[in-house]
Structure 1
Amino acid sequence: MAPGRGPTVRRRRLAGEIRKLRERSAMTIEEAAERLGWSIAKVSRIETARVGITAPDLTRVLDLYEVEEPKRPALHALARTARVRGWWDAYADSLRGEYATYIELEADAGFIRSFDALAVNGLLQTSDYAYEIVRAALMGLLPPADIQRRVEVRMTRQKLLAQGDDPLRLWTVIDQAVLNRVVGSPAVMAAQCKSLLGMAELPNVTIQVLPATSGAHPATAGPFSIMQFREPHDPDVVYLESMTSSLYVESDAEIYRYTLAFDHLRAAALGTEESKSVIARSAERFA
């Protein structure tokens, strides 16, 4: 998935279903395009979720692949939900396309495993800590009002950890250096560490600290997040962020390497109780 405002999970799922239908019909993309009267590029973009598909076009596709009636309503419903606007669209004027894409994917995720080497995970940041992180990242390029709007977005995202009976599960491995770096002020850091201790008590949140003594590890290249979705047939996605762009990794082989790296990191990290002790000591040091 290229950087930019990419497809939602539902569009990816629908694209996968359409591709499977064509393959079961033993048609090539070229054959399908000819029979639909479309360009090959259009069929390819739909099947790779680069673009959405309208209801009339979906009906034509289902007719071509001779999809029976019982399955049609579900696919049309999936197409409709893929076009539903999310709460983040209200902030479209102040969000980078890559960040908006991440929020869309995050909203559909059921489990996120992340290695956070530079800052506390955004889902666990206090508003004061988040403000300082966003302000520093923007380097004075945007006014304070825009910074505050981005902080509001971050705080809204955190509601995923407390929604209903099936909240988002988060497992984060935090580099110990994150707890030692003074973001904003000692008071901001003390409050952030105390907040982490509270979040660590949630049954759906696991926090481990990777100690400085752990030495070299498989993720010295930087932070990453592995997003696992609620639907079992939705493939995992790895999210990587740089200063000016983002990358979504969807190759099975590459996702396996990141999963293996996370397993190494959690094995090298302190256990949850010992991690809480380290975080508590940081809170006391900053107080």
Structure 2
Amino acid sequence: MSGQDEAERISPTVRLRKVTRRIRQWRSEAGLPLEEVAPRLGWSKSKLGRYETGDTPIGPAEVMAIATVFGIPEEEREHYVGLAFQARQKGWWQRYGASTLASNFAEYVGLESEAGHVREFASDLIPGLLQTENYATDLMNAWIPRASPTVTRERADLRRQRQQRLHDEQPVQLSTVIHESGLRQLVGGTDVMREQLEHLVTMSELPHVTLQVLPFDAGAVPALGAPFIILSFPDQEDPDVPFADYLTGCVYIEDEDEVESYNLNYSALEQAALAPADSAEFITKLAGEL
């Protein structure tokens, strides 16, 4: 992958989260409530609150103003002003329209594009980063309302862009626990599903991909029926972000106690699942039965 391509994968979403987290910390360290800080800036309490949560993207000028009010040293101030500037640049995924990429999932793609480690518990589907084109297309065609051929092609291209990170010079690390029900769900018929299962085995051979199967006989396990993803980032200052979606939207988890709960649950799922080598053998057997 070229240096230019790698630069395009820098995520403005991650930059924005860094900035909003830091301005919240500035106010917390100063021990001042929103209603006391906002008048000093000439803003309403709600405006400052939206900047702190990221509901309204904050710009370099606003970061400069907040840093000045709190007396932040020049070097730190300029660092976060620079991040706010970078956060205004468009990510590679923003070339796709709203019909192809809903705004709530666009944030996920932005975070995933800079994650160093993706951990996913998949209960009834193959994880998106490991889906074949035929499998993914059949899934998309089953959704209601059905997407147009143009949108279907664009979503396929978007998925390929996301999956490319598994083949970069510095690839994302992927760990996944897939429930047996997801492996047996006959999406697209026997040929499509056999191809998909064989692809899983091939991908599991990559040194940065850890694939484990959670078989039916594992019984009751943590998070059963509640699939989720945890995104971890190279910068240790960036906290993990668990993600879960539902029929018409998705949620991001930021509360520290809840994030810890997701991490504990994923670790427990890894313990309950088959070892990677046994999982590859399990999937190979399933493919042979089709």
Describe the shift of the 1:68–1:140 C-alpha distance in structure 2 as closer, same or farther (beyond 3 A): closer
Most deviating of 155-164 and 122-131:
155-164
Give the AA of the match of 1:276: A
C-alpha distance in 1 between matches for 2:124 and 2:243: 15
1:195 paired with 2:199, answer: yes
| Structure 1 runs (4+) greater than 4 angstroms displaced | none
1:280 paired with 2:284, answer: yes
TM-score (ref. length: structure 1) = 0.92
C-alpha distance in 2 between matches for 1:260 and 1:19: 27
**Alignment-derived partner of residue 116 in structure 1:** 122
Listed one character per residue, the Cα deviations across residues 191-228 of structure 1 (whole Å, up to 9, x for unaligned) are 11111111111111100000111111111232111111
Structure 1 gaps of 5+ residues are 1-6
Give the AA of the match of 2:42: G
Listed one character per residue, the Cα deviations across residues 28-71 of structure 1 (whole Å, up to 9, x for unaligned) are 22221111111011111111222122222222222211122222
For the 8 Å contact 2:175–2:211, the answer to whether it is kept is yes
Give the AA of the match of 1:147: T
**Alignment-derived partner of residue 269 in structure 2:** 265
Give the AA of the match of 1:170: L
Q: Cα distance, 1:140 vs. partner?
A: 4.6
1:143 paired with 2:148, answer: yes
Give the AA of the match of 1:142: A
Give the AA of the match of 1:152: D
Aligned counterpart for 1:250 among listed residues 254, 258, 261: 254
1:42 paired with 2:47, answer: yes
Match runs of 1:100-111 below 5 Å: 100-111=106-117
Most deviating of 77-86 and 207-216:
77-86
1:57 paired with 2:62, answer: yes
- Give the number of aligned pairs: 278
Aligned counterpart for 2:81 among listed residues 76, 84, 90: 76
Of all paired residues, the percent bearing the same amino acid is 36
Where relative contact order (Cα < 8 A, 6+ residues apart) is larger, the structure is 1
**Alignment-derived partner of residue 243 in structure 2:** 239
Structure 2 gaps of 5+ residues are 1-11
**Alignment-derived partner of residue 188 in structure 2:** 184
Aligned counterpart for 2:162 among listed residues 147, 157, 161: 157
TM-score (ref. length: structure 2) = 0.91
Q: 3-state DSSP class of the match of 2:96? A: helix
